Structure 1
């Protein structure tokens, strides 16, 4: 083994734990609750394993060119064992990251946490701004709408919700462009009234939930005592721009 190779292998468990502890302490100084910080770090760790699994599953199973059949078969078996092991590690890491909020049941639907709402905000705002140059809705109402949307999912689904939103926006981009051009900021439609949500980034989250879990969303909407007209107006705007 070369000296350069040895150098690359020096990031051991103690060093990783040191980096994690340092990050937790820095976040604590910035006012981030330790439980929230642990959850975020856990999701990053689970995501890194999931990406590694996806990468190896897509390219790592091919034996080097010119390999014999026996060598190739052994390569594929070994690659399969590694990728399956990574998949298991990623799943356990995700379960550990969200189990505390789920009461040790990562598929449960507990009360939506503050950090889950914050993650949804970080995901939905840039997506919305790819359709509109501005947004307008009371911050407190924004949190209530996102919480109602997230409450339709288990904690595992909430963890992967940014990916769901990104896929939804990509799949329906032409439709969303028509919707926001017709009813969003800059249109002739005023913010006040039934089309209020179209002026807010939360509209993307609500539309995705209307497509995926309409009954559950309406149940959580009523429980949060949000205006029914907002949901009805967004649904009408979506249908009329189809």
Structure 2
């Protein structure tokens, strides 16, 4: 069984690696500031790197006939094959550098697909609100209102008149479950309640769709200042005079 002497490991030359990395970063910054795209910058730097490798390969090839003088034919042959192998390897590195740069540049040029977003359907407005819906919401609002304030001396006709308008800014999709939504809103203890149970509905709509409420209110009710004052009470917690 033959034993080969342990070969010493060739030293790794790493004198210019850090300097080259900083230089590449600086060149990237300058080209980017000049308007070059990331793909173009990457390709240009790779071309310079590949050219440097090719230059080194050219110098290696010049060594093919420089075997030590007086060496045997076998040594000359081994020298030539070593130079050939190194030259081939350097050529491969140069080609690989360019090919990888082209692939990266193509990827940079290709915009990544935007994530698909599920569109949110717009709320469907209603032209009018039936008496049944008005009465259902009024009963829910009255129950909450009385349980919180103990006040029962409100004007029911006024409540129905206002709710007929205000409930127009509840979308068609929310109409059926609106009484439950109103109860959930009241449970959060955020509503400033005045002397009318429909104020609970007005407060909830102010909190959810204030501009929509103002639009239907000011168009159909002759009480624009009433909503403005009520909005101030709701937002700032002022006691009504």
Q: Same fold (TM over 0.5)?
A: no
TM-score of the superposition, structure 2-length normalised? 0.44
Larger Rg: 2
